[in-house]
Structure 1
């Protein structure tokens, strides 16, 4: 049996998923959590094979932060993101912090079951359009590789460091705390690197970081 922990801030969603999955398809729901800290605590207690993780949980620790901490504490536990966000920024960041899969909440029941079984076996799962997005980014990297000097080379070491943090979705305040610098300094470096790279938005920054191989994929 695949031991599954469900983490979602909506009780109705948790109950519905438990009714759909528990005792079926070789899956046993061993626990439910309403936010990230609770999911981490239950993972330590119950040792699930898979954590089905929502991203947007306003009351408590969000899914991204919880996934990152959970993978450090329990690297053998697979995290399958279940979310409404069909967005490249969320997708790339989730993979970058170690999620084993990413599936949308409007996916058919059979697809969700297949995704759980897939990540439980040690494989990765992405919903079909997400796979296409990653392939497009990979092809862009191949086509753009090795053709002249890159604007990236003009960045200072600190700007490259902050670029990596930004690409992984950290806020200016979080970056400042981690690097022991002021928020204003982070904002200045961010402005400079965005200008040097010709980027206008965070999604553009994430795409650039992918092409440069700055995001590590599990």
Structure 2
């Protein structure tokens, strides 16, 4: 059986390379391409593929996680396999929560990519070794886990936002921001904003 694939990536050269790689086999054919979330949904509705290969960073500001959620909400939706350069805990968890069936990195060898596509089509998970390690470490850690809001605060901290800017971005009071920071510092074992960002990056909670 030949599996029908839709590629979603905002770099045309990357799409061309992945298409050439996939179509070098007899089992896979690319039936559509998209560079943003809206076009990805349209391509899936038009082509009814078996699997969608999804990058997380797209050119429309919405990203692959939004696109994954929209595609998975469609009737008889295809499996979505993330293929990206990002392996932070927040990216992985958000993608899986949005409905992705697998998560591979762009440096994966071709055989791993081919096997991943076949696996998610069969309803099985497909995870890069480093991604599986992140998930296992998270599951095994005795430390309190970051909430989604705390991860969001960390990402904004990494962008250099102060308390007032954080409050505005999160639509909360500065007192609430200080409460979030206190909880974050406690969970990471740090006492400064810079220390929190460094620890979060080192632990792959947020992107570098």
Task: Work out whether residues 167 and 202 of structure 1, in 8 Å CA contact, stay in contact via their aligned partners in 2.
Answer: no
Counterpart-to-counterpart distance in 1, 2:70 and 2:32: 18
Deviation at 1:37, TM superposition (A): 0.9
* 2:176 equivalent among 159, 165, 189: 189
Give the alignment's TM-score, normalised by structure 2: 0.73
Tell me how large the CA RMSD over aligned residues is: 3.3
Q: Give the SS at the match of 2:7.
A: strand
> Structure 1 unaligned runs (5+)?
145-149, 153-159, 173-180, 210-218
CA deviations on 1:106-140 (whole Å, 9 max, x unpaired) are 11111111111111111111101211221122122
Equivalent runs, 1:12-27 vs 2, <5 Å: 12-22=13-23, 24-27=25-28
Give the alignment's TM-score, normalised by structure 1: 0.70
Count of aligned pairs between the two proteins: 182
Counterpart-to-counterpart distance in 2, 1:35 and 1:72: 17
CA deviations on 1:29-79 (whole Å, 9 max, x unpaired) are 111111111001111111111110111123453111111222122463111
Counterpart-to-counterpart distance in 2, 1:98 and 1:186: 32
Task: Work out whether residues 89 and 203 of structure 1, in 8 Å CA contact, stay in contact via their aligned partners in 2.
Answer: no
Deviation at 1:195, TM superposition (A): 1.7
Counterpart-to-counterpart distance in 1, 2:178 and 2:123: 40
Counterpart-to-counterpart distance in 1, 2:176 and 2:106: 37
Deviation at 1:187, TM superposition (A): 5.9
**Partner of 2:83 in structure 1?**
82
Q: 1:131 to 1:72 in 2, by over 3 A?
A: same
Task: Work out whether residues 37 and 62 of structure 2, in 8 Å CA contact, stay in contact via their aligned partners in 1.
Answer: yes
Q: Give the SS at the match of 2:172.
A: helix
Q: 1:120 to 1:63 in 2, by over 3 A?
A: same
Deviation at 1:203, TM superposition (A): 8.1
**Partner of 2:46 in structure 1?**
45
Counterpart-to-counterpart distance in 1, 2:136 and 2:69: 24
**Partner of 1:215 in structure 2?**
none
Counterpart-to-counterpart distance in 1, 2:75 and 2:152: 20
**Partner of 1:213 in structure 2?**
none
Deviation at 1:87, TM superposition (A): 2.0
